[in-house]
Structure 1
Amino acid sequence: MLSQWLPSALTNLNSVTDFKPADFALPAPSTSDIEPESPAMASKQPFMQFQYPLPYGAILQENGVQFAVYSRSATAMSVLLYKRHSDRDPYKVIKFDPATDRWGDIWSIYVPDLKAGQLYHYQADGPYLPEKGHRFNPQARLIDPYARALAGRFQPSDDGIVRPPKCVVVDDTFDWQGDRHLRRPLSETIIYEMHVRGFTRGSASETDHPGTYLGVIEKIPYLKSLGVTAVELMPIHEFPINATNGEKQDRGNYWGYDSLAFFSPHRGYQHGTKAGDQVRQFKEMVRALHAAGIEVILDVVFNHTSEGNHLGPTFSFKGLENQVYYMLNDDGTYKNYSGCGNTVNGNHPICREMIFHCLRHWVYNYHIDGFRFDLASILSRNRHGELVPNPPMVELIAEDPMLADTKVIAEAWDAAGAFQVGSFSDLRWAEWNGHYRDDIRRYWRGEAGRLGPIATRVSGSSDLYQNGTRKPYHSINFVTSHDGYTLNDLVSYERKHNQANGEDNRDGDNNNYSANYGVEGPTRRKFIVELRRRQAKNMMATLLLSQGTPMLVSGDEILRTQRGNNNAYCQDNAISWFDWKLVERNAEMLRFTQAIIAFRINQPSVRRQTFLTGQPTENEVLPDVTWYGPTGKPVDWNSQSRSLICVYGTHGLDDPEAKNVMILMHSGQDSQRFTIPEHLRKLPWQQLLDTSAAAPEDVHPGATGPALPASGHLKLVHHTLMCYVA
Structure 2
Amino acid sequence: MQLQATSLFARPAGIVMPQKQSAQPIPQFNYPLPYGAILHDHGVQFAVYSRSATAMRVLIYNRVSDREPSKIVELDPINDRWGDIWSVVVPDLKAGALYHFQADGPYEPAKGLRFQKNARLIDPYARALAGKYQRSSDGVVRPPKCVVVDDTFDWQGDRHLRRPLAESIIYEMHVRGLTRSSTSDTNQPGTYLGVIDKIPYLKSLGVTAVELMPVHEFPMAESDGSKPRRSNYWGYDPMAFFAPHRGYMHGNKPGAQVDQFKTMVRELHAAGIEVILDVVFNHTSEGNEHGPTFSFKGLQNNVYYMTTEDGGYKNYSGCGNTVNGNHPIVREMIFHCLRHWVYNYHIDGFRFDLASILSRNRKGELVPNPPLVELIAEDPMLADTKIIAEAWDAAGAYQVGTFANLRWAEWNGHYRDDIRRYWRGDFGVTGAMATRLAGSSDLYQPSGRSPYHSINFITSHDGYTLNDLVSYERKHNLDNGEDNRDGDNNNYSANYGVEGPTRRAAIVSLRQRQAKNMISALLLSQGVPMIVSGDEVLRTQRGNNNAYCQDNATSWFDWRLVERNDEMLRFTREVIAFRRSQPVLRRQKFLTGTASRPGELPDVSWYGVEGQSIDWESTFHSLSCVLGTCWLEDPAARPVLIFMHSGGQPQEFHVPETARQLKWRLLIDTAAEAPKDVYPKHDGPVISGHSPVTLDHHSLRCYVAE
- What CA distance in whole angstroms lies between the structure 1 residues aligned with 2:574 and 2:23? 70
Please say if 1:220 is aligned against 2:213.
no
Structure 1 stretch displaced more, 44-53 or 590-599: 44-53
Contact 1:164 1:244 in 2 (8 A): no
Deviation at 1:646, TM superposition (A): 1.3
Indicate the residue corresponding to 2:262 in structure 1.
283
Please say if 1:180 is aligned against 2:159.
yes
CA deviation profile, 1:110-135 (whole Å, cap 9, x unmatched): 11100000000000000000111000
C-alpha RMSD of the superposition? 1.2
Indicate the residue corresponding to 1:62 in structure 2.
41
Instruction: Name the CA shift for 1:396/1:38 in 2 (closer, same or farther; >3 Å).
Output: closer
Please say if 1:438 is aligned against 2:417.
yes
Deviation at 1:250, TM superposition (A): 4.0
Indicate the residue corresponding to 1:670 in structure 2.
649
Contact 1:681 1:712 in 2 (8 A): no
Deviation at 1:243, TM superposition (A): 4.5
- What CA distance in whole angstroms lies between the structure 2 residues aligned with 1:608 and 1:262? 36
User: 3-state SS of the aligned residue for 1:442?
Assistant: helix
Query: Which amino acid is the alignment partner of residue 339 of structure 2?
Result: R
2:27 is aligned, of 35, 48, 67, to 48
Report 1:351-366 matches (<5 A). 351-366=330-345
Indicate the residue corresponding to 2:217 in structure 1.
238
Contact 2:22 2:74 in 1 (8 A): no
Contact 2:308 2:314 in 1 (8 A): yes
- What CA distance in whole angstroms lies between the structure 1 residues aligned with 2:446 and 2:385? 23
- What CA distance in whole angstroms lies between the structure 2 residues aligned with 1:41 and 1:448? 73
Query: Which amino acid is the alignment partner of residue 279 of structure 2?
Result: V
- What CA distance in whole angstroms lies between the structure 1 residues aligned with 2:24 and 2:175? 46
- What CA distance in whole angstroms lies between the structure 1 residues aligned with 2:697 and 2:100? 63
Contact 1:51 1:110 in 2 (8 A): no
- What CA distance in whole angstroms lies between the structure 1 residues aligned with 2:541 and 2:109? 42
CA deviation profile, 1:296-315 (whole Å, cap 9, x unmatched): 00000000000000000000
Deviation at 1:241, TM superposition (A): 1.0
Instruction: Name the CA shift for 1:41/1:402 in 2 (closer, same or farther; >3 Å).
Output: closer
Deviation at 1:428, TM superposition (A): 1.1
Tell me the TM-score normalised to structure 2 length: 0.97
Indicate the residue corresponding to 1:706 in structure 2.
685
Between 1 and 2, higher relative CO (CA 8 Å, sep ≥ 6) is seen in 2
1:161 is aligned, of 140, 145, 152, to 140
CA deviation profile, 1:619-652 (whole Å, cap 9, x unmatched): 3321100000011000000000000001110010
Contact 2:23 2:73 in 1 (8 A): no
User: 3-state SS of the aligned residue for 2:375?
Assistant: helix
Structure 1 stretch displaced more, 704-713 or 101-110: 704-713
- What CA distance in whole angstroms lies between the structure 1 residues aligned with 2:424 and 2:363? 42
User: 3-state SS of the aligned residue for 2:25?
Assistant: strand
2:610 is aligned, of 625, 631, 634, to 631
Indicate the residue corresponding to 1:489 in structure 2.
468
Please say if 1:113 is aligned against 2:92.
yes
Indicate the residue corresponding to 1:694 in structure 2.
673
Please say if 1:104 is aligned against 2:78.
no
Indicate the residue corresponding to 1:505 in structure 2.
484
- What CA distance in whole angstroms lies between the structure 2 residues aligned with 1:44 and 1:233? 41
Please say if 1:335 is aligned against 2:314.
yes
Instruction: Name the CA shift for 1:257/1:39 in 2 (closer, same or farther; >3 Å).
Output: closer
User: 3-state SS of the aligned residue for 1:204?
Assistant: helix
User: 3-state SS of the aligned residue for 2:416?
Assistant: helix
Instruction: Name the CA shift for 1:89/1:679 in 2 (closer, same or farther; >3 Å).
Output: same
Indicate the residue corresponding to 1:543 in structure 2.
522
User: 3-state SS of the aligned residue for 2:493?
Assistant: coil
Indicate the residue corresponding to 1:610 in structure 2.
589
- What CA distance in whole angstroms lies between the structure 2 residues aligned with 1:37 and 1:287? 46
- What CA distance in whole angstroms lies between the structure 2 residues aligned with 1:615 and 1:121? 64
Please say if 1:75 is aligned against 2:88.
no
Contact 1:227 1:597 in 2 (8 A): yes
- What CA distance in whole angstroms lies between the structure 2 residues aligned with 1:137 and 1:244? 21
1:258 is aligned, of 223, 237, 256, to 237
Report 1:555-566 matches (<5 A). 555-566=534-545
Contact 1:492 1:519 in 2 (8 A): yes
Instruction: Name the CA shift for 1:313/1:687 in 2 (closer, same or farther; >3 Å).
Output: same
- What CA distance in whole angstroms lies between the structure 1 residues aligned with 2:17 and 2:232? 36
Please say if 1:405 is aligned against 2:394.
no
Report 1:424-435 matches (<5 A). 424-435=403-414
Deviation at 1:242, TM superposition (A): 3.4
Indicate the residue corresponding to 1:461 in structure 2.
440
2:601 is aligned, of 622, 628, 649, to 622
Deviation at 1:681, TM superposition (A): 1.8
CA deviation profile, 1:354-387 (whole Å, cap 9, x unmatched): 0000000000000000000000000000000000
Instruction: Name the CA shift for 1:154/1:196 in 2 (closer, same or farther; >3 Å).
Output: same
Contact 2:168 2:209 in 1 (8 A): yes
- What CA distance in whole angstroms lies between the structure 1 residues aligned with 2:19 and 2:500? 67
Tell me the TM-score normalised to structure 1 length: 0.94
Query: Which amino acid is the alignment partner of residue 269 of structure 1?
Result: Y
- What CA distance in whole angstroms lies between the structure 2 residues aligned with 1:631 and 1:276? 65
- What CA distance in whole angstroms lies between the structure 2 residues aligned with 1:702 and 1:181? 32
Deviation at 1:245, TM superposition (A): 2.1
2:579 is aligned, of 596, 600, 607, to 600
- What CA distance in whole angstroms lies between the structure 2 residues aligned with 1:298 and 1:197? 14
Indicate the residue corresponding to 2:636 in structure 1.
657
Instruction: Name the CA shift for 1:691/1:41 in 2 (closer, same or farther; >3 Å).
Output: closer
- What CA distance in whole angstroms lies between the structure 1 residues aligned with 2:425 and 2:503? 23
Deviation at 1:449, TM superposition (A): 1.1
- What CA distance in whole angstroms lies between the structure 1 residues aligned with 2:244 and 2:228? 22
- What CA distance in whole angstroms lies between the structure 1 residues aligned with 2:23 and 2:571? 71
User: 3-state SS of the aligned residue for 1:89?
Assistant: coil
Indicate the residue corresponding to 1:140 in structure 2.
119
- What CA distance in whole angstroms lies between the structure 2 residues aligned with 1:364 and 1:316? 25
Instruction: Name the CA shift for 1:87/1:245 in 2 (closer, same or farther; >3 Å).
Output: same
1:516 is aligned, of 491, 495, 512, to 495
Please say if 1:269 is aligned against 2:248.
yes
Report 1:114-133 matches (<5 A). 114-133=93-112
User: 3-state SS of the aligned residue for 1:59?
Assistant: strand
Report 1:295-444 matches (<5 A). 295-444=274-423
Contact 1:599 1:702 in 2 (8 A): no
Indicate the residue corresponding to 1:8 in structure 2.
none
- What CA distance in whole angstroms lies between the structure 2 residues aligned with 1:207 and 1:44? 47
- What CA distance in whole angstroms lies between the structure 1 residues aligned with 2:265 and 2:22? 46
CA deviation profile, 1:642-673 (whole Å, cap 9, x unmatched): 00001110010011000001111000001111
1:170 is aligned, of 149, 155, 166, to 149
Contact 1:678 1:712 in 2 (8 A): no
Contact 1:626 1:648 in 2 (8 A): yes
- What CA distance in whole angstroms lies between the structure 1 residues aligned with 2:476 and 2:369? 41
User: 3-state SS of the aligned residue for 1:296?
Assistant: strand
- What CA distance in whole angstroms lies between the structure 1 residues aligned with 2:23 and 2:654? 91
- What CA distance in whole angstroms lies between the structure 2 residues aligned with 1:625 and 1:249? 57
Instruction: State the percentage of identical aligned residues.
Output: 74
User: 3-state SS of the aligned residue for 2:693?
Assistant: strand
- What CA distance in whole angstroms lies between the structure 1 residues aligned with 2:625 and 2:689? 19
CA deviation profile, 1:199-228 (whole Å, cap 9, x unmatched): 001111000100000000010000000000
CA deviation profile, 1:296-342 (whole Å, cap 9, x unmatched): 00000000000000000000000000000000111110000000000
User: 3-state SS of the aligned residue for 1:383?
Assistant: coil
